[in-house]
Amino acid sequence: MKTRSVLLGLVLMLVACAGWAQDKPADLPVFKGGEVTMEINLGNADIIPTLNAILPLMSDNISKIMQGVNPDDLAAVLKDVTQIEMIQVEVAKSSVSESEIASFYGKNIPEGKWSRVFWQSKPKGGVLAIYVQSGLEAIYGYKVETKNVDGKPVKRAQIAKIKGKIDFLKLISIASKIAIEQHSAPAAASGN
């Protein structure tokens, strides 16, 4: 379970940790009435340098998680990835539900043949879905949840598309290593 959580966190971090966009805007759709509050659009040559530049600036929690990760290992995981696109859309209109937004992104997937491989709706709110193309040549996913922004509830959607293959065996190896280190760190600190 911990390895799976770390693995999901690494995938989300790979998509969400960059902060610079290329000249070409992401081609992901925007929910009507939503406001784009973040955009990431990285080509192959930008992915690893951006990760290396951004990782030290990330929150303490992410920095602690990533301390034991060799940048060359991350480069190997992403060597066949040609494009990472992500947008974050916020919808302030209270009459719009999380499920409406999730339905929009489920119906407006990028061109091509996609298979939904994961879908989760949480009882207390939030929807997460992941789609893949044949041979894992591309991944598309979205997460919709309600957040408090400036003291007001806002529906936030994070939509991402990754073109190219991620080396999942290497990614799982990194996630396992992090999970083991996190699990053994409290025991070592307490002297057990």
SS3 of the chain: helix, strand, coil, percent, to 5: 40, 35, 25
* pLDDT for residue 111 is more than 50: yes
- Condensed to tens digits (0 to 9), the pLDDT of residues 72-104 reads 788 888 889 999 999 999 999 999 999 999 999
- Condensed to tens digits (0 to 9), the pLDDT of residues 6-30 reads 554 555 555 444 333 334 456 899 9
Confidence of residue 65 (pLDDT cuts 50, 70, 90): low
pTM over 0.85: no
DSSP for 34-97, written as a single string: -EEEEEEEEEHHHHHHHHHHHGGGS-HHHHHHHTT--HHHHHHHHTEEEEEEEEEEEE--TTS-
- Condensed to tens digits (0 to 9), the pLDDT of residues 165-180 reads 988 888 888 888 877 8
Q: How far apart are the C-alpha atoms of 126 and 130, rounded to whole Å?
A: 14
